[in-house]
Amino acid sequence: MTGRVQVEPVPCLQDNYAYLVRCEVSGRVAVVDPSEAEPVWAALAAFGGTLSAIWNTHHHWDHTGGNEDLLRRDPKLRVLGHQSDRGRIPGQTDFLDDGAQIALGELTGHIRHIPAHTTGAIAYFVGDEVFTGDTLFLAGCGRLFEGTPAMMFASLAHLGAHCHGDSRLWVGHEYTASNLRFAAAAEPDNPQIQAALERCSDQTCTVPGTWAQELALNPFVRAQTAEKLGELRAWKDRF
């Protein structure tokens, strides 16, 4: 990667996050998962730069709902997503697979295919910044709408293989407090979960987290087998 990257979270809908990602050298900006267009345009006016791409982590409407409005304002925007989401992401122009390189001005990043929440879920890696969509949340993971526990187990391991401790995680929803309450029930003797839950009570925006934090307190990342992850996910669905 060359050039500096800056990230701005954009709250959307009830608890979604979109993200503006800017190359500080060129001023080019990508937006990750714009569920709504208006909050993105308002944030871009303050953030600065020229919007050139939409990076979708998966096809769900609360991550792609703003695509068409953004494209009406600028039909030249590139719309990135996994190749298997052809026909499911509005306006998609780039059909990517695991390991594909992406460019934003002077920045170079790559994607990782992390299916489980959906079969076409991907994460975007740009330097230390990692955009995980709804596969990994802070202290949690996504529901298994189109995948299996084994797929989620493999996808979290795939993320971990390409992260380091200081990798900054930008996730799809502000679910951290509820995830930590579940984590505390799953691991009642883990003091790091209790401390994180106390810190979280005073925060309205908990992103970004780090991979080191997830290794310490996320019960799904810490699960040793796909079977254990499946048990935790079924419990979380009822929690």
Give the residue numbers annotated as catalytic, written as ranges. Answer: 58, 60, 62-63, 117, 134, 173
Specify the amino acid at residue 19.
Answer: Y
How far is 117 from 205, CA to CA, in rounded Å? 23
Residues 6+ apart with CB under 8 A from 150: 226, 230
SS3 at position 132: strand
156: which 2 tokens? Answer: 């979290």
CB 190 within 8 A of CB 181: no
- Nearest residue to 230 (alpha-carbon basis) of 177, 164, 138, 151: 151
How far is 198 from 157, CA to CA, in rounded Å? 28
CB atoms within 10 A of CB 122: 30
Label residue 95 exposed, middle or buried (CB < 10 Å: 0-12, 13-18, 19+): middle
Locus of tokens 């122009």: 93
How far is 204 from 207, CA to CA, in rounded Å? 9
43: which 2 tokens? Answer: 């944030």
